Structure 1
């Protein structure tokens, strides 16, 4: 079983897809991975929730770096250094705001995961950690978002050698339970 290093200790999560996918509950900003994915807003300049936490943990250098990126549309992802984070890079993915699923939200959310994984592959990164993109302030239903995240990740990993490790880092116990239930069905 793989161990995940966190600042201040080791934690083991549940493994799926031959150990390439790991589920755990914890603080995304503490993970020592090649890249963590920030659930960013269109400006990429920081916001609330996880976005604010990532910017705080990375330090002011992250804001300077994201200013140079010129923002991003929903479904897009862009990469910067991780600065003061234990992660080497931050991938800023802009998820869709939930409007009932009839304004292209599933396709945009799938694109967030796919584009983030492509950036990890293209930068030859072995490990990437995702939050549950768009399920907080953007109100995307957790079960639907989780199914998209797991299906996109599985399809990508089956076609690509890198990244060889994908971590879904859940903020709440409820989110982790949803990931566990759907991973058991979709990744077995």
Structure 2
């Protein structure tokens, strides 16, 4: 799918990009973008990074949409199917275990600072919805209370705060849900 970014580096500068599913062979590119963006964050604790091995697995078994300018990846969204795993956010939302397989995790959304301000977080989520596995009825997500940009994007995309809790080894997070 073709998109047109309206600004690059905060300035009006139309840029034609492509939104498409990422492949397992692109795992290192996804991993590099994750680390590059996290290194630029004023507070890197706002984002919990993944290992290259985890990203390879997600690209093989889950859903990852990326926004590309030719060979350059500038944004991506990973949606995971955790089933009955303890990593399924449904486990923390009071959803009966028998229903966990019908929930997905909005795991990571990364947008390079050069491409921010184009609504890519919302576009990626909206474009992922038709690609969900059949039977998925909800999506869980976590956001740091110190990250109002991502929290506001999640709310604008229909997520609601379910609770505030420690996750990922003691990090303060909002737990959010979107019912489909």
Instruction: Place the TM-score, normalised by the shorter chain, in its bin.
Output: 0.3 to 0.5
Higher relative contact order (CA 8 A, sep 6+): 1
With normalisation by structure 2, the TM-score equals: 0.36
Which structure would you say has the larger Rg? Answer: 2
